[in-house]
A and B are shown apart, each in its own frame.
Chain A
Amino acid sequence: MGNPIAIDLTLPAQMLAFLILVWILAKFAWKPLLNMMEKRRTGIEESLAQAQAEREQAERIKREYQAEMQKARQEAQEVIARATKVSEDRAAEILAAAREEAEKVKRSAIADIEREKEKALADVRTQIVDLSVSVAERIIRQKLDVNVEAQLVNQFIQEVGDLPC
Chain B
Amino acid sequence: MHEETILWHLSNGMTFHGRTLIMTWIVMVVCIIFCLLGVRKLTSGKPGKMQNLLEFIVDLVDGIAQGNLGSAKARVMMPYLLSLITFIFFSNMFGLLPNFTFKVFSILGIEHGKLNEIFGGSSLMSPTADINTTLALALLTFCLIFIMGIRYKGVHYFKHFLEPTPVFALIHVIDLISKPMTLAFRLFGNIFAGEILLGVILMLPGFFVFAGSFMSAVWLAFSIFIGCIQSYVFTVLTTAYIAQAAVSEEH
What is the chain A residue whose CB lies nearest that of B51?
A33
Nearest-CB distance from A13 to chain B (Å)? 6
Give which listed residue, B1, B38, B131, contacts A6 with CB less than 8 A.
Answer: B131
Q: Are B82 and A13 in contact (CB under 8 A)?
A: no
| CB-based contact B136/A26 at 8 Å | no
Residue A83, interface by CB 8 Å: no
CA distance A10 to B83 in the complex (A): 20
Partner of A7, one of B127, B132, B137: B132
Q: How large is the interface on A (under 10, 10 to 19, 20 to 34, 35 or more residues)?
A: 35 or more
CB distance from A144 to the nearest CB of B (A): 148
Contact of A33 with B2 in the complex, beta carbons under 8 Å: no
**With A6-B131, A8-B14, A22-B80 in contact, is A14–B58 under 8 Å at CB?**
no
Least CB distance from B181 to A in Å reads 12
Interface residue from A26, A30, A40 paired with B44 (Cβ < 8 Å)? A40
CA distance A34 to B25 in the complex (A): 25
Evaluate contact between B54 and A33: CB separation under 8 angstroms: yes
Report which of A2, A21, A37 forms a contact with B87, defined as CB distance below 8 A. Answer: A21
For chain A, what secondary structure do more than half of its interface residues adopt (helix, strand, loop), or is it mixed? Answer: helix
Cβ of B21 under 8 Å from chain A: yes
For the complex, give the distance between the alpha carbons of A4 and B20 in Å. Answer: 12
Task: Bits for B151-184, please: 1 = Cβ < 8 Å to A, else 0.
Answer: 0000000000000000000000000000000000
Stretch at the interface among B27-35, B105-113, B208-216: B27-35
What are the residues of chain B within 8 A of A7 when measuring CB–CB? 131-132, 135
Complex: A165 Cα to B15 Cα, angstroms:
171
**Chain A proximity mask over B75-89: 1 for CB below 8 Å, otherwise 0:** 100111011101100
**What are the residues of chain A within 8 A of B72 when measuring CB–CB?**
none
- Closest CB of chain A to B204's CB: distance in Å? 18
Chain B residue at minimum C-beta to C-beta distance from A16: B136
How far is A26 from B7 in the complex, measured between Cα atoms in Å?
A: 32
A25 contact from B5, B14, B15, B35, Cβ within 8 A? B35
**Do the beta carbons of B39 and A9 come within 8 Å of each other?**
no
> Contacts of A34 on B, CB cut-off 8 Å?
58, 75, 78-79
List 10 additional contacts besides A5-B188, A15-B136; criterion CB under 8 Å.
Answer: A6-B5, A11-B132, A11-B135, A14-B20, A14-B127, A15-B139, A15-B140, A29-B38, A33-B39, A43-B44
Instruction: Please give me the 7 A-B residue pairs with the lowest Cβ-Cβ distance, nearest first.
Output: A26-B79, A29-B35, A14-B136, A10-B132, A40-B44, A30-B79, A15-B136
Q: List 25 A-B contacts (CB under 8 A).
A: A1-B1, A4-B2, A4-B192, A5-B188, A6-B5, A6-B131, A10-B132, A13-B21, A14-B20, A14-B127, A15-B136, A15-B140, A17-B25, A18-B137, A19-B140, A21-B32, A25-B31, A25-B86, A28-B32, A28-B36, A29-B36, A30-B79, A32-B42, A33-B38, A36-B43
Binding site for B on A (CB under 8 A): 1-2, 4-15, 17-22, 24-26, 28-34, 36-37, 39-40, 43
